[in-house]
Amino acid sequence: MKTLYLTRDELALIILYLNKAEARDKICRAIQYGSKFLSGGKPGTAQNVYRNTSLARKVFRLFKFLNDFQLLISPVHRRTPLPLVLLGKCKNALLCTYFFLDQFVWLGRSGIYKNKILTELISGFSIFCWLGSSICIVIIEICELVRLSSSMKKMDKELKDDEKKNHDELHRAKLQKTKDRIVALIKSSMDIVVAIGLLRLAPWIIGHRVTGFLGLITSLISCYQLLPVRPKLKTA
């Protein structure tokens, strides 16, 4: 019965996970870049899957720029250093621009808008915006990791031995934040390489397969980050 309860709970979490538009988008992204890796940029079934999935994903992101626009105009925490505030706002502005322009790319590639040259120019500029936002995220995560490390060291120095036992939960929470930020740092660093590959800035180093492989890895990381917490087995 315990196994049955756990199976039902996990099934409910899977359904909850798949009901998220963001989760479905990241699963499609994994299929998209996995197909790019398999095709290697050569015509064929895998290349067709890559193009079709790329176009289908853009429907998920219609009006998604409003999310980052809201973050752009929202106030930040007072204790956040000014450089991090500026970097965060730059990231939001670049992502907002990326998702806004991506809608026009969808219009062009779906055949609604006929100017292919302008569509490709807009596509290139939008990917540059995504590249810039990924660079901002990398810098932010490095700065936040330094802040977390210094705060943990400061906490360990200030607390006495008996007080440390009472603050284990806080210490574990900070460790979990550190792990999450390290994962986000790795993902954003890979996204920078993926953006360079999509822009064909260094095709002799970052080819179609490298772009597809790293895009697949970052997609799987994104899927992992969106996973809900697994239920614990109930004890009698």
Check if the beta carbon of residue 42 is closer than 8 Å to that of residue 212. Answer: no
Q: Comparing C-alpha atoms, which of 224, 230, 148, 129 is closest to residue 186?
A: 224
Domain shared by 194 and 222, yes or no: no
Across 192-206, average pLDDT: 93
Domain shared by 44 and 150, yes or no: no
Across 52-74, average pLDDT: 91
pLDDT over 90 for what percent of the chain? 60
Domain shared by 171 and 95, yes or no: yes
Check if the beta carbon of residue 19 is closer than 8 Å to that of residue 27. Answer: no
Domain shared by 37 and 132, yes or no: no
pLDDT at 108 exceeding the cut of 60: yes
The first and second tokens of residue 42, run together, are: 């050569």
By CB neighbour count within 10 A (0-12 exposed, 13-18 middle, 19+ buried), where does 223 fall? middle
pLDDT at 145 exceeding the cut of 90: yes
Domain shared by 218 and 165, yes or no: no
Residue appearing with tokens 């490298």: 210
Alpha-carbon torsion angle 225, 28, 194, 48, nearest 10: 170
pTM, full prediction: 0.87
Q: At what angle do helices 116-158 and 168-199 cross, to 10 degrees?
A: 160
Alpha-carbon torsion angle 55, 64, 101, 47, nearest 10: -20
Domain shared by 141 and 25, yes or no: no
Domain shared by 186 and 79, yes or no: yes
Across 142-165, average pLDDT: 75
Domain shared by 181 and 207, yes or no: no
Give the count of domains, the chain: 2
Distances (CA, A) of 116 to 51, 55, 100, 202, 208: 15, 15, 18, 24, 22
* Parent domain of 159: 67-201
Domain shared by 50 and 85, yes or no: no
pLDDT attached to residue 236: 42
Domain shared by 123 and 136, yes or no: yes
CB atoms within 10 A of CB 111: 7
Domain shared by 113 and 179, yes or no: yes
Domain shared by 36 and 137, yes or no: no
pLDDT at 24 exceeding the cut of 70: yes
